Amino acid sequence: MQILHFDIKPHNILLDENFTPKVSDFGLAKLYPIDDSIVSLTTARRTLRYIAPKLFYKNIGGVSYKADVYSFGILLLEIASRRKNFNQFVDHSSQIYFTTWVYGQFSKGNDIEMEDATEEEKKTTKKMIIVALWCIQMKPSDRPSLMNKVVKMLEGEVESLQMPSKPFLSSSPRRPIGDVRDILNSDSSSFQ
């Protein structure tokens, strides 16, 4: 069996005495067989700022575990950028659209509020942002196929990752992505 959590957000990630993260609040969670990739829903019941576009636009019916991948991506972006994904009190109106702002800053090569960071911290942040941008792709089929793929990307070298296409509706063409596509869409659940 697998668990579709439906409410991945900062308030539901707790840290134990060793700062090991633990997921909590399984009130909206559903159990479903590993062989099933789609869960049927009649309503979206999640925290709006972390909800996958398919649920947000009321395209209810079949929803996959990739809704949790999307929510994790938003959470990861918040951690890496040190800001909430929605803040009406920002310096520039372009910053209201969090994913657009992060993608724009990052694709221009700007460090996201990392003036005092070491080179290692900047590399880690860059890796987190690239992985998060993969997780929040508009089309579920463009997101990592399993969370253990996300972990592998986070544990790997930042140089092996490439920028995904914009994670929101856009008319710009998709960039070629090389080997990362193999990692994202591989059916294998075990890694060396």
The confidence score (pLDDT) of residue 187 equals: 40
Q: Tell me which residue has tokens 């063409």.
A: 173
Structure token pair of residue 132 = 């998060």
Rounded Cα gap, residues 71 and 132, in angstroms:
9
The pLDDT of residue 88: 53
What is the pLDDT, as a whole number, of residue 110?
72
What is the model's pLDDT at position 140? 85
Contact 32, 25 (CB under 8 A): no
**Residues counted in the chain:** 192
Residues 124 and 154: beta-carbon distance below 8 Å:
no
Per-residue pLDDT of the chain (192 residues; tens, 9 = 90+): 778 787 888 889 999 999 999 999 887 777 777 666 665 555 555 665 666 766 555 554 466 778 888 889 999 988 887 777 665 555 655 555 677 777 887 778 776 666 687 889 888 988 998 999 999 888 888 989 888 899 999 999 988 998 888 766 443 434 433 444 444 444 433 332
Q: What separation in angstroms does the CA of 191 have from each of 31, 118, 153, 187? A: 25, 30, 11, 11
Known active-site residue 7: yes
Q: What domains are there in the chain, each with its CATH number?
A: 2-185 (1.10.510.10)
Residues with Cβ within 8 Å of residue 10, at least 6 apart in sequence: 75, 78
User: What's residue 101's pLDDT?
Assistant: 74
Residues β-bridged to residue 32: 2
